[in-house]
């Protein structure tokens, strides 16, 4: 006779899949950025990737990269407060090429 598995256990097994887990974390980071930044600033960057604590953000030019790099520690702190368990250790700003 087979054992029944709870829905929460099934969902946990599903999220243990590495690719799905990364996608969910990236989605959570993108949503947290919407909370952390106002509308004017959100339109100036795009989240490219989040993996192993490194968040890569695309910015339109070197001026924005430099401006946001001055705010890096504050951004990381606010993101980690909003993310509840997912940890952003580093942020890299990449200019549009």
Read off the pLDDT of residues 37-66 as tens digits, 9 standing for 90 and up.
776 666 678 889 988 899 999 989 999 899
- Average of pLDDT values for 77-97? 88
Give the span between the Cα atoms of 31 and 3, in whole angstroms. 37
Q: Alpha helix (H) ranges present in 1-97?
A: 7-15, 18-36, 39-42, 62-70, 72-83
Q: What is the DSSP letter of 1?
A: -
pLDDT tens, position by position, 25-34: 888 888 888 8
Percent of the chain with pLDDT over 70: 75
The correct answer on CATH 2.40.50.140 for the domain covering 7-95 is no
């Amino acid at each position: 006779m087979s054992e029944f598995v709870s829905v929460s256990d099934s969902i946990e097994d599903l999220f243990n899949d590495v690719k799905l887990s990364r996608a969910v974390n990236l989605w959570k980071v993108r949503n947290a950025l919407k909370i952390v930044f106002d509308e004017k600033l959100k339109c100036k960057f795009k989240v490219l990737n989040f993996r192993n604590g490194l968040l890569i953000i695309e910015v339109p030019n070197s001026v924005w990269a430099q401006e946001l790099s001055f705010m890096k520690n504050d951004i990381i702190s606010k993101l980690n407060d909003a993310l509840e368990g997912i940890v952003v250790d580093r942020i890299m700003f990449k200019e549009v090429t």
